[in-house]
Amino acid sequence: MMRRPAALVALCAVLALSTQALAAELPQRWVSAGGALSEWVSALGGEQRLVGVDTTSQHPASLKALPSIGYQRQLSAEGILSLRPDVLVGTDEMGPPPVLAQIRNAGVRVELFSSKAELGAVDDTLHHLGQLLGRESKAAELAADYRQQLQQLQGQIKQAQTGQEAPGVLLLVGHAGAKPMIAGQGTAGDWVLRQAGGRNLADHQGYKDFSVEALAALNPDVVVFSDRALSGEQALQALLKQNPALAVSRAARERRLVSFDPTLLVGGLGPRLPSALHALAASFYPAAKASLNP
Ligand code: HEM
């Protein structure tokens, strides 16, 4: 038998120990706030580490079985601390700030991510989560794949635009009966509309209350509607009932009202967006529908 040099054996032992030590340092008990962020944790294979999620974390459906920490914008410290997490991950939508400070003071790591609607933020989120989970190469793979899917869609939209002009569109975010807000510049909603090949007619910044006059003047070709309590046809009927001005818009007359899952608009840009964008683009460019399906 060949004698293994003692130094090599010792080196291997040290290496094995330090890898173990590194793994032990990674947070084991995770609480996550923000739908898209929780989806990325799952996509990176971190779902078993989650011990709680907020109410916007609904995908994959298995997350709904976890203890709830309430709405990401209105967290309470007691609920989160009772889950004894090592880390709370969330985006800048998460709050309120005094609660985050309380959680930090109790010794829980709070890791913040960007909810900005831009590809660079997806790269950063994946890189950061990859490090926290010890899954860096998987994270790099997902980031490259995401970019590639969106590039492919842009090519297909360019093609569709040779046969049809970009439609003028609006995205309304309904809040369970409260007045809907229109997605303006700099929002995830605006990014979604543009990526799907629409021309967002709203030029204000952020999400703003919906005004009937403004809507009538803008006369969109397509209205996209997102409501956390209602979905599909039900959401659209409620919208038309609450806002009769919409009923006379070109979009309503031509029945171009499309509902959009609100969990795609919270916690940054998430992994289900590329396929949702394909479907949205197909509704913006009906003639090119067949080639736009993912
Ligand atoms: C599944 C998705 C969502 C759920 C479960 C949810 C839930 C809630 C809840 C419970 C509130 C507290 C006030 C209320 O009851 O109306 C709220 C407020 C709010 N939501 Fe959402 N929401 C969702 C999606 C969204 C989206 C897509 C946006 C923006 C694009 C948004 C922006 C806001 C804002 C700005 C407030 C007011 C925040 C405050 O006053 O602190 N939410 N939401």
| pLDDT value at residue 23 | 56
Is 33 near ligand 1, meaning CB less than 6 Å away? no
- Is the domain defined by 27-141 classed in CATH 3.40.50.1980? yes
Question: Sign of the C-alpha dihedral, residues 93, 98, 104, 108?
Answer: negative
Nearest CA to ligand 1 atom 9: 71
Q: Which token pair is 44?
A: 């990176």
| pLDDT value at residue 266 | 97
Nearest CA to ligand 1 atom 22: 228
| pLDDT value at residue 25 | 84
Determine if the pTM surpasses 0.85.
yes
Q: Assign residue 27 a region (left: φ > 0; alpha: ψ between -120 and 50; beta: otherwise).
A: beta
| pLDDT value at residue 247 | 82
Q: How far apart are CA 207 and CA 267, in angstroms?
A: 15
* Extents of the domains making up the chain: 27-141, 165-292
Nearest CA to ligand 1 atom 40: 73
What is the atom index within ligand 1 of the atom nearest the CA of 176?
16
Is 56 near ligand 1, meaning CB less than 6 Å away? yes
Sheet holding 87-91, edge to edge: 50-53, 30-32, 87-91, 109-113
Is 265 near ligand 1, meaning CB less than 6 Å away? yes
Superfamily of the domain at 165-292: Nitrogenase molybdenum iron protein domain (3.40.50.1980)
What is the atom index within ligand 1 of the atom nearest the CA of 56?
1
Over the chain (294 residues), what is each successive 10-residue block's mean pLDDT?
56 52 79 98 98 98 98 97 98 98 98 97 98 98 98 96 95 79 95 98 91 79 89 79 82 91 96 97 90 72
Class of residue 98 by CB neighbours under 10 A (exposed 0-12, middle 13-18, buried 19+): exposed
